[in-house]
Every structure is written in structure tokens, then in C-alpha cells.
A and B are shown apart, each in its own frame.
Chain A
Amino acid sequence: MASGSLKNMLSEAINKGVVESRARIFGHQLNPTGQQTPHKLLRMKLFGEKVAQWYPHDIKKDDPLVMARQEQERLSKLEMLKRRGKGPPKKGQGRRAAKRNK
């Protein structure tokens, strides 16, 4: 009684379960309610290594002697700046802190 003609019934029968089958065959992820899902992130390929290799490898970092000498130079330079009154400011006295007080 609720059904219409035979043709409509057959069409509905043909298209029954098509969405689920398509998702299963082609590997789709069904989201009928449109909720937010992490599938997009999970689907992405791992690209951390590709991002990490943006900068070329610096050979100095492999030699501890070179790194120690650079650190020593940095410390000595910092000491000279402090003696001349040009060192880093104390906490709460910098530009950012003053700006926040306003």
C-alpha cells in the first residue's frame, strides 16, 4: 500500500546498499552525520622526515671540539656585553613586560 509502482521498487532495489559497497570497494570513509573526524590526519602520509630535511646537514655539529669552541666564544662575548651594560635584561624589565603593564 505504501509502495508505489513496480519500476520504482526495482530502482530502489538496484540502488540498495550502493553507498556502503562503494565505500568498502574504494576504501572510502563514510561520515553520514558530518561530524568532525581525524580521518584526514590519519590518511596523510608521514612527512616529518621530509620537513626535517628542509635545511641541509651542517657538518660542524658532528664535531664536539668545534661546538665547544663556539660555545666558549659565545660565553666570552656575553661577558663582554654584560661589562659594557649591554647584556640581556632581567625578568620583568624588558620591552614585552613593560608593554603588558600598559
Chain B
Amino acid sequence: MRRTLVRNGSLYTRNLLHHSALALAASSRPQFRLFSSNENPPPVPQIDDVNNKELKAQIETYFKGDEKVLPSIMEAILKRKLSGNHEDTDDELMEELRMRPLDDVDDRDFESDFESIHDTDEEIDDLYNARDVVMKRMVKDEYFNMDDKKWDDIVEDGIKHGLLRDTKECEEILEDMLSWDKLLPDDIKQKVEVKFNELGDMCERGELEPEEAYEQFKKFEDEIVAKYLDKMEKEEASQFDDTVVPDKKKDLDDPPGEGPILRWQTRVVFAPGGDAWHPKNRKVKLSVTVKELGLSKYQFRRLRELVGKRYHPGRDELTITSERFEHREENRKDCLRTLLSLIEEAGKANKLVDDARSSYVKERLHTNPAFMERLHAKSMRLRESNQVPA
């Protein structure tokens, strides 16, 4: 602001000097202006032109130290620009003055606004002593430069002095705040939503005023909350009753025992060079506990016949090794394929045993003469009964 004013002031000062230097030109130009004003009578009263002498006097008073004159100077400049009578001389003076720098400009005036708008921390004079500065601030302010350890200490003090008696309750409240969407069951949410939509529609149709609708919604919400509290109390009572009864055993997805069902053994050789392939990395070994497979007695016996020495009776462990392919992952797939095929093949034992048992029974009956005689007689009677209706 002040810079622009100073520039314009200098321009107008030059203008005055120029006019005083050339008296003849100055005397001729006012006459021309008078003619133009005579030609255009209507705009004359609107434009209140400021004289060069008046502007010069105002600028001189400002430079002497009177800052109150500043707005009047600005108004004068605007009036001269609006009148348009001094455009030529002003433009010439501006072009002359652009090449000359301005000396008396105070930067503090610009910085004062910045300081008031943007508040920053106090500057540290000696940065080499930052540690001492931080220590002093920590001594003054207990909550300066907080970290997890300090926070834990504060919480511990609170617990000791009895301020924080039940941290579990605090955690529950925080969890509820974190997931407040899940506090209420879905049916209550739907009821509230339906009521809200109804009231909204009534407001839009003009049947209800927004204030009355809000009051009704508030009452409805209070009723819903009261009902929910009653339900919670009943549920708590029922839970208390349930605690007396021992817990029922639930079906768990986890199999018995510890550790994974499939145990893989592979070798990784770290060799120099970019290529990670090494012939020792190829082999894959898969171990599985046969009990985990859930086989029946006959299936188990068939599996043992199939795998032979791959089964270790002491550890009840079946081991399948593969180094058929060049890459380890392909060999892992081969191991899995082999294991699944073995399980499928062992599963056929039940059917084979059933067939064998039924064939055995049939053979025993076939060799029994009394049974055969009765069977023959029965078949003969069936034939006779069939022939009669024909």
C-alpha cells in the first residue's frame, strides 16, 4: 500500500515540476481543458477534479509526518484518475520513474500483519543449546514432549491414587465410542430410520412443522432407548441364569493337537550370483500324521499297504518325498497330488470290505441245503401265483 502511494506521490511531484518548468505549455493546456468541459456540460458536476497544487500540498504534509492525510490523498488520486484529464502527463511520469528505485520504504509495516496473523513459537536464540532449552521446558510444563512412557506413568499414578479405579470400564467406553454404529441391534436401527423418514415426509408435505417433528422424533428416540435398556436388563438376568448351567461344548474348527497338519521340509541354498536356482533346492519332503486324516481301520490298513516303508509306525507319520521336477514349487504340487491320491485310494477299502462280506454271506447261504430248499419252494409258489391271474 505505502509503496504504491509513494510511487504515485513521486509521479505527481514530477508532474508539478514539469508543469512549472514549461509555463507556456501549462498555460495552454488549461485552456484546452476548458473547451472540453464546455463541449461536455453534463459530466462537469459529477467529476470533482483535484488541482495539482492541492495534491502537492497534501503530499508534503504527509511526508512531514502527518499520517491522517493518507486517505484524503488516496481519494484525490482516484478523483484525478476518474476525471481522466491527467492521463498523458501521469503516464509519462510513470515511465520516467520506473527506472528509479525508491529508498524510503519501511519493511516492518508489512511484517506486522504477518506476525499478528501467524502465531509461532518463541524463537530459540542459541540452537547449539537445544538440549538445555528442552530440559527447561520439560521442567516448567509437565505435559511438554509427551511420549508413551510418560503417559503410562500418568495412568499408573491415577490408578494408585484412586482416580482411575476401573480401567477396563474405560476401555469398554472407548471401544463403544470407536464403534458406536454397532451398539444398537439392526431392528432398532430400522425402526428409528422408518420413523425419521415418516417425519421427514410429513414435514415436506407441510403437515407438520420442523419443530414439532423434532419434538416427536425426540420422544420416539427416548422410548426406544428405554425399551432397549429394559431388554438389556432382561438379557443380563438371563445371562446370570445361564452362568449357573455349565457351558455347552461347542464345535471347534481347530483339529486336535498342536501345529500344522502338513509339515514341509525344504532346503534353501544361498549361492553367490544372481541366479537362485540350485540343485539342492529341488527336493521337497512332506510329513503328515495319519491320525489326522480320519481313516477307518480298513482304510488305514490299505494305506499302509500302499505306502510301504514311507509310513513310520512309531511316530504315526507318513512321509512323501518328491524331486521329480526342476523347481521346488512344482515338487510341492507333486507331493500334494500324491497325498490326495493316496487318501482317495485308501478310501476305497470300505467298499471292498463290504462287497467281500456280502459275497461271503451269499456263499455261505448257497452252501446251506435247507435254505436252498425253502428258497426253491418259495420261488415255485411265486411262479404259480403269477400264472393264475394270466
Q: Do chains A and B interact in one complex?
A: yes
Chain A residues within CB distance 8 Å of chain B: 1, 3, 6, 9-10, 12-16, 18, 21-22, 24-27
Residues from chain A with Cβ under 8 Å of B302 in the complex: 14-15, 18
CB-contact partner of A25 in B305, B306, B359, under 8 A: B306
Report, nearest first, the 3 A-B pairs whose CB atoms are least far apart: A13-B356, A13-B352, A25-B341
Q: In the complex, A6→B301 CA distance in Å? A: 16
Residues from chain A with Cβ under 8 Å of B356 in the complex: 9-10, 12-13
Smallest CB-CB separation from A27: which chain B residue? B324
In the assembled complex, B298 has its CB within 8 A of some CB on chain A: yes
CB-contact partner of B353 in A1, A10, A24, A25, under 8 A: A10
Given contacts A16-B352, A25-B345, contact A9 B360 (CB under 8 A): yes
Q: Could you tell me if A3 and B341 are in contact, using CB atoms closer than 8 angstroms?
A: no
Residues from chain A with Cβ under 8 Å of B349 in the complex: 13-14
Q: In the complex, A18→B342 CA distance in Å? A: 11
Within 344-366 of B, Cβ neighbours of A (below 8 Å) are at 345, 349, 352-353, 355-357, 359-360, 363
CB-contact partner of B306 in A1, A3, A18, A27, under 8 A: A18
Residues from chain A with Cβ under 8 Å of B341 in the complex: 24-25
Q: In the complex, A26→B374 CA distance in Å? A: 52
Q: For residue B335, give the distance in angstroms from its CB to the closest CB of chain A.
A: 11
Q: For residue A84, give the distance in angstroms from its CB to the closest CB of chain B.
A: 55
Q: Could you tell me if A14 and B355 are in contact, using CB atoms closer than 8 angstroms?
A: no
Q: For residue A31, give the distance in angstroms from its CB to the closest CB of chain B.
A: 18
Q: For residue A19, give the distance in angstroms from its CB to the closest CB of chain B.
A: 9
Residues from chain A with Cβ under 8 Å of B352 in the complex: 13-14, 16
Q: For residue A29, give the distance in angstroms from its CB to the closest CB of chain B.
A: 14
Q: In the complex, A40→B255 CA distance in Å? A: 44
Q: In the complex, A14→B349 CA distance in Å? A: 5
Q: Could you tell me if B345 and A1 are in contact, using CB atoms closer than 8 angstroms?
A: no
Q: Could you tell me if B305 and A18 are in contact, using CB atoms closer than 8 angstroms?
A: yes
Residues from chain A with Cβ under 8 Å of B120 in the complex: none
Given contacts A10-B298, A10-B353, A26-B338, contact A15 B305 (CB under 8 A): yes
Q: Could you tell me if A13 and B305 are in contact, using CB atoms closer than 8 angstroms?
A: no
Within 301-317 of B, Cβ neighbours of A (below 8 Å) are at 301-302, 305-306, 308
Enumerate 30 A-B pairs (CB-CB under 8 Å) in ascending A order: A1-B363, A1-B367, A3-B360, A3-B363, A9-B356, A9-B357, A9-B359, A10-B298, A10-B356, A13-B349, A13-B352, A13-B353, A13-B355, A14-B298, A14-B301, A14-B352, A15-B305, A16-B352, A18-B302, A18-B305, A21-B306, A21-B345, A22-B306, A22-B308, A25-B306, A25-B338, A25-B341, A25-B342, A26-B338, A27-B324
Smallest CB-CB separation from A26: which chain B residue? B338
Q: In the complex, A22→B308 CA distance in Å? A: 10
Residues from chain B with Cβ under 8 Å of A15 in the complex: 302, 305
Between A3, A9, A18, A27, the greatest number of chain B beta carbons within 10 A of the residue's beta carbon is seen for A18
Q: For residue A94, give the distance in angstroms from its CB to the closest CB of chain B.
A: 48
Q: For residue B291, give the distance in angstroms from its CB to the closest CB of chain A.
A: 19
Q: For residue A9, give the distance in angstroms from its CB to the closest CB of chain B.
A: 5
Residues from chain B with Cβ under 8 Å of A13 in the complex: 349, 352-353, 355-356
Q: In the complex, A16→B306 CA distance in Å? A: 11
Residues from chain B with Cβ under 8 Å of A10 in the complex: 298, 353, 356-357
Q: In the complex, A3→B357 CA distance in Å? A: 12
Residues from chain B with Cβ under 8 Å of A26 in the complex: 338
Q: Could you tell me if A14 and B338 are in contact, using CB atoms closer than 8 angstroms?
A: no
Residues from chain B with Cβ under 8 Å of A21 in the complex: 306, 345
Q: For residue B214, give the distance in angstroms from its CB to the closest CB of chain A.
A: 75
Q: For residue A13, give the distance in angstroms from its CB to the closest CB of chain B.
A: 4
Q: In the complex, A6→B342 CA distance in Å? A: 26
CB-contact partner of A14 in B324, B353, B360, under 8 A: B353
Known contacts A1-B367, A12-B356, A15-B302; 13 additional CB pairs below 8 A are A1-B363, A3-B360, A3-B363, A9-B360, A10-B357, A13-B349, A13-B353, A13-B355, A14-B352, A18-B306, A21-B345, A24-B341, A26-B338
